[in-house]
Chains A and B, each alone.
Chain A
Amino acid sequence: MERVHRSFGKVDAVRTVTLKIEAGEIFGLIGPDGAGKTTLLRMLAGVIAPSSGRITIFGGTPEAGKRFLGYLPQQFSLYEDLTLRENLRFFGGLYDLDRGASARRIAELLEMTGLTEFQDKLAGSLSGGMKQKLAVAAALLHRPRLLLLDEPTTGIDPVFRRELWDLLYHQVVEGLTIIISTPYLDEADRCHRIGMLRHGRLTMINEDLAPAGRWFKMNSDADSRWPIWEWLQNRPEVAEVHFAGQHLRGLLHADSSWEDFVAATLEKHGRQAEATEPDLEDHFLLTAKEDGADG
Chain B
Amino acid sequence: MWKRILSIAGKEFIHVKRDKRTLFIIILMPVVYLVIFGYAASFDLKNVPMAVIDHSNTSRSHLLIKDLIQSDRHDFVLYPGHPRTEKDLRRLIAENKANIGLIIPATFGEAVSFDNLPSITVFVDGSEPVIAQSNLRKIGLQVQRYAVKELFSDLLPIDTDSFLSLVKIKILYNPELRSANFMIPGLAGMILLFVASFLTAMGIVKERERGTLEQIMVSPIKPFELMIGKVLPYILLSFFDFLVILGLGTWIYKVPFAGNLALLLLGAVLFLLCVLGTGLLVSTIAQNQQQAMQLSIVTVFPSFYLSGFIFPLSAIPWSIRWAGYLFPFTYFLPILRGIILKGLGFKQLWMQLGIMGFYGVAIMVLASLRFKKHLE
Contact = CB atoms under 8 A, between A and B. Distances in A.
Interface of A: 42, 45-49, 66-67, 69, 71, 73, 75, 77-82, 86, 90-96, 138
Nearest to A69: B218
* Closest CB pairs A-B (n = 9): A93-B7, A77-B215, A94-B219, A71-B218, A66-B220, A81-B18, A90-B11, A45-B218, A67-B220
Contacts of B18: 81-82
Contacts of A95: 219-220
17 contacts: A45-B218, A46-B217, A66-B220, A73-B211, A77-B210, A77-B214, A78-B215, A79-B210, A81-B19, A90-B11, A93-B10, A94-B216, A94-B221, A95-B220, A96-B4, A96-B220, A138-B215
B74 interface: no
Nearest to A79: B212
B3 interface: yes
B216 A86 contact: no
B102 interface: no
Contacts, number: 67
Nearest to A48: B376
A82 B11 contact: yes
Given A73-B215, A93-B3, 11 more contacts: A46-B217, A47-B218, A48-B376, A66-B218, A66-B220, A73-B214, A77-B210, A79-B11, A80-B210, A81-B18, A93-B10
A58 B216 CA distance: 21
B211 A75 contact: yes
Interface residues of B, number: 23
Contacts of A94: 4, 7-8, 216, 219-221
B137 interface: no
A91 B19 contact: no
Contacts of A138: 215
Interface of B: 3-4, 6-8, 10-11, 14-15, 18-19, 210-212, 214-221, 376
B211 A77 contact: yes
A82 B18 CA distance: 8
Contacts of B217: 46-47
A92 B211 CA distance: 19
B12 to A, nearest CB: 10
A90 B226 CA distance: 13
A138 B11 CA distance: 15
B17 to A, nearest CB: 9
Contacts of B215: 71, 73, 77-78, 91, 138
B218 A78 contact: no
Contact of B219 (A66, A79, A82, A86): A66
A93 B217 CA distance: 13
Contacts of A46: 217-218
A80 B220 CA distance: 23
Given A46-B218, A66-B218, A66-B219, A82 B14 contact: yes
A17 B294 CA distance: 43
Contacts of A78: 212, 215
A181 to B, nearest CB: 15
Contacts of A86: 11, 14
Nearest to B212: A77
B65 to A, nearest CB: 67
Nearest to A71: B218
A250 to B, nearest CB: 42
Contacts of A93: 3-4, 6-7, 10
A47 B14 CA distance: 26
B189 to A, nearest CB: 31
A93 B12 CA distance: 13
Given A66-B220, A81-B15, A90 B214 contact: no
Contacts of B6: 93
